[in-house]
Amino acid sequence: MNLNDIAKKICEKGKGILAADESTGTMNKRLKSVNIESNEKNRLNFRETLFSSNAMKDYIGGVILFDETIRQVSSTGKKIPDLITSNNSIPGIKVDTGAKPLAGSNLETVTEGLDGLRDRLKEYNALGAKFTKWRAVIKISEKFPTKQAVKSNAHALARYAALVQESNMVPIIEPEVLMDGEHDIDRCYEVTSDVLNECYNELRIHKIDLTGTILKPNMILPGANCKNKSSTEEIATKTLDCLKKNVPDEVPGIAFLSGGQTEMEASKNLNAINKINDTNFLMTFSYGRALQQSALKKFSFDMNNRNDIQKVFNHRAKMNSLSSKGQWTEVLDKEVA
């Protein structure tokens, strides 16, 4: 398969991405929040439970793994990438090493991980990864983002993407404009437009084959503490408009992050976007929290009751699959799986 085929298979109609690439630090927080000890065994158990579910075959085109997980072996003796592949889904890997304070504007961040990346990519590819993820983080406030933060993050994303394509894998380009703050939806639109523009400028300079990439953007939303709430229709219209104006047509797939939306909001908004999607972009999900929250809760009740955990995960994945086709409804969502 060439890079374009891989990208299209991951985002195939009715499928999306399970972002299970939380770093150990983030996983510690997630498991602690439901009173589960975060150790290697428990992290593997939770993730293996999701990767062995029925939802994988039908709704999950790709799974983003963390370094620890791509090296693990399941309880049935299968390597984790093989378990994912056996369910007709594609394994991928997060390759950045995190957002670090940006010198000169150190309340903002620049994502690191370029040093030694070429060698790490070779290893991940040998372990079975067919695609990768790098997340840049952009903060909105009265002063932020600075041009410095937008440019340095876009530059790093492009250098990352070039190395990934050189290693024959599909880079997911994730420039996340955070939901935190009081800003309104139009400010999110404006900042996201600038960020996307800068990213595609840099990607062009670095001669990236855009047909072999996936964009993982935020939706256009008001800040979490904004007084003016927006309707689902407004969110969908502004998100689609922003992407149409700033993402080149050659990009095959756009897979949104959930970024702190509830499970229901994330499904509802993706559905509304797909209802009015008049582009050739495959618009789908690449959710972490919005796919795993309910499953994690079930896991905390009884981590060995795989049936119950998989039942809620299957339902969430199915709902987002429907949203990726514009066929989701609130009634279906509320039907207990």
Applying CB under 6 A, the residues found at the interface with ligand 13P are: 19, 135, 174, 257-259, 287-290
Active site residues: 174, 216
Pairing of strands 105-111, 99-102: antiparallel
Minimum distance, C-beta of residue 265 to ligand 13P, in the bound complex (Å): 11
Q: Residue 55 in contact with residue 292, Cβ under 8 Å?
A: no
Comparing every residue's Cβ against ligand 13P, the nearest one is 288
Paired strand residues for 30: none
Nearer of residues 19 and 273 to ligand 13P, judged by Cβ: 19
Q: How far is the CB of 41 from ligand 13P (least distance, A)?
A: 23
Which of residues 174 and 198 has its CB atom nearest to ligand 13P in the complex? 174
Q: How far is the CB of 108 from ligand 13P (least distance, A)?
A: 17
* Nearer residue to ligand 13P within complex by CB, 26 or 193: 26
Smallest distance from ligand 13P to CB 93, Å: 12
The alpha carbon of residue 145 and the mean position of all alpha carbons in its chain are separated, in whole angstroms, by 21
Q: Which residue, among 26, 25, 9, has the nearest Cα to 17 in the 3D structure?
A: 9
- Residue 178 has which token pair? 């955070």
Give yes or no for a contact between 230 and 186, defined as CB atoms under 8 angstroms apart.
Answer: no
Q: Which residues share a beta bridge with 284?
A: 255
| Sequential DSSP letters for 109-159 | EEE---TTHHHHHHHHHHHT--EEEEEEEE--SSS-S-HHHHHHHHHHHHH
**What are the structure tokens assigned to 208, written together?**
């990236």
Give the residue with the Cβ less far from ligand 13P, 258 or 310.
258
Measured from the CB of residue 134, what is the shortest distance to ligand 13P in angstroms? 9
Listed in sequence order, the residues at least 6 apart from 204 whose beta carbon sits closer than 8 Å to its beta carbon are none
- Residue 200 DSSP one-character state: H
Nearest to ligand 13P of 246, 261 (CB atom): 261
What DSSP character marks residue 215? E
